[in-house]
Chain A
Amino acid sequence: MIKHLRSAADLDAATATLILDTAAEMAALSGREVKKLPALRGRTVVNLFYEDSTRTRISFEAAAKRLSADVINFSAKGSSVSKGESLKDTALTLQAMGADAVVIRHPASGAPHRLANWVEGSVVNAGDGTHEHPTQALLDAYTMRSRLGRLDGLRVAIVGDVLHSRVARSNVLLLTTLGAQVTVVGPPTLIPLNVAAALSASTKVSYDLDSVIPDSDVVMMLRVQTERMQDSYFPSSREYSRRYGLDLRRMKQMQEHAIVMHPGPMNRGMEIAPEVADSPRSTIVEQVANGVSVRMAVLYLLLGGK
């Protein structure tokens, strides 16, 4: 098993599949009356969050607690982090506290890689800058597999601000590792110039959402921040929404079985219409529930053994 989960590129197909299979067992167990499992008793998991992300933190916290780990939340607010202590000094503190795993969310790309130099325990990337968010990709893959029964050969469209999206990067890497055919879709300003060469050779690029939708098994909408407008990535929310938003008309072009995903939080009316987000095709609520199972699997596989 791997020591750290810093990037979806850390996972080969066998390891990724093991995580998804383990997550399925965790999901089966979480329906029980007694939700706690003793596997990580005596282990300490630190949630080190330099960005507000209640959703992700709670998900990791629930996962660690269901495995009976001790959880320490170390957030930028109300700790020495906000007083400007360096990541390295914080790491040494966590090391002294005996952290077996550090789950880190950080606005700087690569912060988990740096952290791994300074702690002995496992490092789990819970989102770093505009780099990656590997557990999100795992829970997305898990959700696709649960809904559609497979990943190999699945046609997945990832739509929106691919340039700044850590979710997109991790998904492209993980899904192509597991045999899916990924197309990234968005305005050319928000698609990196060399995405296939950089991430995975089989990745396709399209600037035309309407041509991609009928051929997709999965349409994953990314959050688009309206601030990007100020920076001339696109002219207006209205134009963005018209060209790259998923509305009812576009959803009707999807195949019968195809699903709609969104990592959240959504900009309803911007990249996704409310009726689409709430439709039976949408997996948005499942994605949240699956997040806990997948994170339990990751923590178990990183910390459960020697």
Chain B
Amino acid sequence: MAYLLKGVSILGAAPVDLYIEKGVISGKPVDGATVVDATGLIALPGLVDVHTHLREPGREDAETVETGSRAAALGGYTAVCAMANTSPVADTAGVVEQVWRLGREAGLVDVQPIGAVTVGLAGKQMAELGAMATSAANVRIFSDDGFCVADPKLMRRALEYVKAFDGVIAQHAEEPRLTEGAQMHEGEVSTRLGLTGWPAVAEEAIIARDVLLAEHVGSRLHVCHVSTAGSVEVLRQAKARGVRVTAEVTPHHLLLTDELAAGYDPVFKVNPPLRTASDVAALRQAVLDGVIDVVATDHAPHAVQDKECEWSYARPGMLGLETALPIVLSVFGPQWDLIADRMSIAPARIAGLDGHGGDLTQAGTPANLTLVDPAASWVVDPAGLASRSRNTPYAGMTLPGRIVATFLRGEATVLDGKVAK
């Protein structure tokens, strides 16, 4: 099907009529194209999330590839990288191919599996990274996310090993001995609440170690969900030295602080934990500076019983796919080039997703894009989200920016704010 996006503004530029045909941006008008009135709407390259938990296989009660894909499309995403901490763990070609195939079947976003670095995420023995890389899933990002690859020798080897197929290790930076039993950011609030602290240094120490290792072996490193001002400084210095490191931050770390733990509602429990207002400020600046390359959701659905309980017993994590762009918009305002880079172009580059994050002004660019109404605002209602889970920390908040439509290779996955298939 062909589409005419009438009066659309590409990244805030003057309105144009944009034609889509045969999966790509068309350079000339197309007869019989379905007209989408895009007056006042902004076209962004389809968003790419390098950090999504889809929970399938294993916890289909919390999310499936299908429900997660719907949430992603509604959030403006055309590609998501599915983390490996499923059950079974995505540490073999078989599991990553299964996830990849489920994504294709859902057909709403490109689901790009991330492979585990170590067998069973146990941090002991390297998984068959090469087999995953050459599987149908074509894995490029490897991560034990949820756990840190804490063993420095194993981390060094993994960084080296993936060079053979241009892979990247995405590190969940958390020194495990410094965070035993940790429940929230270590600071005034944790002292007041009597919750075991997760000190910032536990993240910063691992990032510092890993940028030195990456530098030493000349490998690429990606740092997941950077959460502290100190981490930003370590990354800033490493980048200045030319270390091949990229980093992501989550929308929630750009907005929320540890004060929210005061009522012990585990909807605010996440790993790494919500930090202080000065960390939030440093992270925002790092996104503006490019020290942080990517905003990634760390979309982490959890079943009701895993959140409606005592704080210490609750699982960490927050929904993110359907609220990421509105949060980023509320934090940075309509800086569309910045948003497109941090949420689409840079993540597509890091994940090696060639058809994503393209230039929408060029004919022939794959038609992976999303249309946003920046003037619309909406109130987050957990029950109204497409995710199977309800653990959004933004319930009741009014957010700017409504996703009106999303196109994956020229086909509408979302139209009028609803899933189109």
Interface residues of A (CB under 8 A from B): 86-88, 106, 108-111, 113-114, 128-132, 166, 169, 192-195, 197-199
Contact = CB atoms under 8 A, between A and B. Distances in A.
* Most-contacted residue by chain A among B192, B194, B196, B309 (CB, 10 A): B194
B312 A129 contact: yes
B194 A130 contact: yes
A199 B189 CA distance: 9
A114 B264 contact: yes
Contacts of B193: 109-110, 131
A169 B194 contact: yes
B264 A110 contact: yes
Contact of A110 (B186, B187, B311): B311
A166 B263 contact: no
B308 A113 contact: no
A110 B192 CA distance: 11
Given A109-B194, A129-B312, A169-B194, 10 more contacts: A86-B309, A87-B310, A106-B310, A110-B311, A128-B194, A130-B195, A166-B194, A169-B192, A192-B191, A194-B188
Contacts of A192: 191
Nearest to A107: B312
Given A110-B264, A113-B263, A113-B264, A194 B191 contact: yes
A195 B309 CA distance: 27
B202 to A, nearest CB: 14
Interface in B288-325: 305, 308-313
Interface string B61-97: 0000000000000000000000000000000000000
Nearest to B263: A113
B178 to A, nearest CB: 12
Nearest to B261: A110
Contacts of B264: 109-111, 113-114
A197 B187 CA distance: 9
Contacts of A113: 263-264
Contacts of A88: 308-309
Contacts of B187: 194, 198
A31 B192 CA distance: 38
A194 B276 CA distance: 14
Interface residues of B, number: 21
A108 B269 CA distance: 14
Interface of A is mostly: mixed
Contacts of A129: 194-195, 312
A109 B195 contact: yes
A198 B310 contact: no
A129 B312 CA distance: 10
Contacts of B312: 108-110, 129
B192 A198 contact: yes
12 contacts: A86-B309, A108-B310, A110-B312, A111-B310, A114-B264, A114-B265, A114-B310, A129-B312, A131-B195, A194-B188, A198-B189, A199-B191
A189 to B, nearest CB: 13
Nearest to A168: B194
Interface of B: 183, 186-189, 191-196, 263-265, 305, 308-313
B310 A197 contact: no
A108 B192 contact: no
Contacts of B309: 86-88, 114
A130 B311 CA distance: 13
Given A87-B310, A88-B308, A110 B195 contact: yes
A7 B189 CA distance: 14
A285 to B, nearest CB: 28
Contact of B313 (A108, A166, A197): A108
Contact of B311 (A86, A108, A193): A108
Contacts of A197: 188
A6 B309 CA distance: 17
Contacts of A169: 192, 194
B262 to A, nearest CB: 9
A230 to B, nearest CB: 12
Contacts of A131: 193-195
Contacts of A108: 310-313
Nearest to A88: B308
Contacts of B196: 130
A50 to B, nearest CB: 9
Nearest to A195: B191
A86 B194 contact: no
* Most-contacted residue by chain A among B189, B263, B311 (CB, 10 A): B311
Nearest to A170: B194
A112 to B, nearest CB: 9
A87 B196 CA distance: 21
A194 B419 CA distance: 49
Contacts of A193: 186, 191
A106 B264 CA distance: 14
Given A113-B264, A194-B187, A199 B310 contact: no
A198 B263 contact: no
Contacts of B191: 192-195, 198-199
B198 to A, nearest CB: 13
Contacts of A166: 194
B351 to A, nearest CB: 38
Contacts of A194: 187-188, 191
Contacts of A111: 264, 310
Contacts of B311: 108-110, 114
Nearest to A191: B191
Contacts of B265: 114
A130 B192 CA distance: 10
